[in-house]
Chains A and B, each alone.
Chain A
């Protein structure tokens, strides 16, 4: 049963829930455990952008104007992408200057001008009130649809008095909510924790409600998106519904609406409120910059399906704006329409709450306060009187704004469809964009230019969008639109200066922004800024400069007593104590430090707006804030310091790198030194061993005349072998010395590497066999003509085979010699099945004196350790012959693999050794 009472109970129950959430949020904030200190809550609170206009109007717009509704969300997506450049700067300025609203922002930028602030507040009031009315209208309408379905809603609406209009009562409840949670602090630059928590909750509710009806439409009313769009394709009257042709103004209208949405997202008072004033931490922007667009994407996902479904299912009488409600209603559901109604209610109330807070702050701080401060009666006020006044003004303003919105809705609300009012308000808010955005980046923009630009933009907006709206409501003659006022054709509101064929919003935006920007820039170029304006301009444009905000900018003089009295009078005792806390206590007639003056002005600015705060501070402080030159010099010195710091850092990095290199070189030298010592010790040892045995056996032979003949022969044999070993060792050391000094004489001549390798294998075959090494040979070529010194090359190959035999595995050792062609080289590789050589050891084995550490300390199975000279000598020889020698992993046996590569020498006759070899080589001896 969709009873009237049930709907009312649910609606007001939902509003009660908002009170609970907001109260909870405020309590948590008092306890210091803020609910809203998360980027996700921040992103959700920005989603107050999606009003009832999104909730109901998007579907209507999709039904009538194709995909153009998406532009309203693509613009903010672009703006959020730019947030690290634009919104971050706004947040930083706002927190440094204690900005309370967009009117305050613009007024502060142009020298804390109270008249400019008032102008912005007025434009916002005129431009945005209809938008609040639109939300109330949406509540009334959706309620009527819900209760009266299937009767058409509009018929019944006219019969009801305002006592029966639910939106009147909703507006009243909202007024109470906003007064309770929106005016808790005097300081409007402080965040409204409870309110933001409630708004974030509302954003979730409307998203869930819309997704529910979307899923219901696509998957219950139809069998998934495929089915829906197949039916759309079959309906000829819908064939052009989604193309660019359906967008008003075509491609130009598309771009115009995109720009409009982009600017409005930054300048709508409620967006400024949640984006900038309520921002807790500028780092939240990072997450919000993609999370909020994602929210927009999600809430728009089902708009087209719902619109198409509504058009397909006929029901021609019902307004496309209500499809979201009528679709589930027509299916006879009970719960879903209620959820949708609550979703729409949350979208509408969220917007009304934030917009009203923003507007009431503007009205109290920018419109009423400056007038009160000028009136002579106020200054006799006692302690904290103004605080009460200010909150009272704000509360009255809240009620008045809501009442105004309601009146607008009740009196002329019927003449517009939902979407129209929304875009008209967007265009009004977009007038703030030039003053705000240009002012943030161009220091030269000044107050006169901003004021004239705003006025001109506003007038053009009113002429091209507001008045035609009145005309369409029948308040002005119909000829006004078609023939222009008094028949002047070029003044026609929808075709100003004869520009025809554009959609009305792009048309209005073009002319109003042209006038606005043109005057702002033009007048700024030809008029002067006051000193305070210059200061503020520098502070705004250089806001991202590090350390600027830490600098105290006051030079004026006053006593602590005067300052304390001023704060006491306007903000009350508690606020005064907060300002003075942390400042050293002194007598009242002592001069106030600059820091204290700055804090006092900030505290006043947070409550009263920057313009009024400046008026008050000026009433007690003699002197001025720092002028432009002083600020510029601060900026210069800080940037100089930064530059010096940077250079110092670079130098110290270089120094660190150099010392690291030195340390490495030193390490290397020590290592070489250690190796040399070891080598000398080893060489001495190696030389001494054969010498000792020669001497011992020689002495035995000398003394033992009566030794048996065979023993004597055996000892002589030992002496001969040890002498050979000794001379071989000395030969190696000499070789190395020759290589190092470059006096190594080689005898290069053409030779066949296959033959040489075979020869070497034969030479070591016996020795390897006695050691139990299995030596395999694999020649991939039949002849390998190279140029080389046969004796030396054979020495190299034998050395490689010998080494491989030494390092092959203990169990069934294997060595493999392979010879193959590689491009125009021959590669001779010798691999073993030993443990291999670690990567970092591979180059070091070619260092002289280097010996691979074997875990089993070497001499197992009588395999001797090398002298550590074989490989360096081999590499030296191969290099002399124009080849290379290196280590890699053995491809077949898994151990180490030493590869010798020599260039192919095909020209030389590979058999005839007597033919003169390569020209550089000496003649054979």
Chain B
């Protein structure tokens, strides 16, 4: 029923993931945390997990419909 909307949501998720994983946003997080190493890996892991979570939510919901 809702297939077109689901497609749009997936496209938006892909765009979001590309934006999260590419430089302009990355550079914001490439700063040392209190004299320690860069926060970049932490940021990537969090963004990555968020993207996977959203994808899982979207895909499994679509399966139910």
Contacts and interface: CB of A to CB of B under 8 A. Distances in A.
Contacts of A77: 17, 48, 51-52
Contacts of B49: 297
Contacts of B18: 78
A304 B45 CA distance: 11
Interface of A is mostly: helix
Given A74-B21, A74-B48, A304-B41, A244 B10 contact: no
A239 interface: yes
A291 B55 CA distance: 9
Interface in B23-65: 23, 26-27, 30, 32, 34-38, 40-41, 44-45, 48-49, 51-52, 55-56, 59-60, 62-63
A243 B22 CA distance: 14
Contact of A244 (B7, B30, B51, B62): B30
Contacts, number: 99
A238 interface: yes
B56 A290 contact: yes
B15 to A, nearest CB: 10
B37 A243 contact: yes
B34 to A, nearest CB: 7
A290 B57 CA distance: 9
A297 B21 contact: no
Interface in A255-314: 255, 258, 283, 286-287, 289-291, 293-294, 297, 301, 304, 308
A869 interface: no
A67 interface: yes
Contacts of B38: 66-67, 240, 242-244
Given A81-B10, A243-B30, A293-B52, A74 B44 contact: yes
Contacts of A78: 14, 17-18, 21
Contacts of A620: none
Given A78-B17, A81-B55, A294-B52, A67 B40 contact: yes
Given A78-B17, A229-B37, 9 more contacts: A78-B18, A81-B14, A238-B37, A243-B40, A244-B38, A244-B40, A287-B63, A293-B52, A293-B55
- The residue among B18, B37, B63 with the most chain A CB atoms within 10 A of its own CB is B37
A438 interface: no
A288 to B, nearest CB: 9
B35 A233 contact: yes
B37 A255 contact: no
22 contacts: A67-B38, A67-B41, A67-B44, A74-B21, A81-B55, A82-B14, A229-B36, A233-B35, A239-B35, A240-B38, A242-B38, A242-B40, A243-B38, A254-B26, A255-B22, A283-B63, A286-B63, A290-B59, A291-B56, A293-B48, A297-B48, A297-B52
A255 B10 CA distance: 22
Interface of B: 7, 10, 13-14, 17-18, 21-23, 26-27, 30, 32, 34-38, 40-41, 44-45, 48-49, 51-52, 55-56, 59-60, 62-63
A94 B22 CA distance: 32
A80 to B, nearest CB: 8
A70 B37 contact: no
Interface of B is mostly: helix
Contact of B37 (A84, A232, A290): A232
Contact of A84 (B10, B22, B35, B48): B10
Contacts of A232: 36-37
A251 interface: yes
B23 to A, nearest CB: 4
A244 B13 CA distance: 25
B37 A258 contact: no
A241 B62 CA distance: 41
Nearest to A246: B38
A239 to B, nearest CB: 6
A297 B45 contact: yes
B29 to A, nearest CB: 9
Contacts of A242: 37-38, 40-41
- The residue among A74, A77, A238 with the most chain B CB atoms within 10 A of its own CB is A74
Interface in A42-77: 66-67, 70, 74, 77
A81 B21 contact: no
B37 A239 contact: yes
B30 A233 contact: no
A297 B50 CA distance: 11
Nearest to A258: B21
Nearest to A235: B37
B34 A233 contact: yes
A447 B60 CA distance: 40
Contacts of B55: 81, 289-290, 293
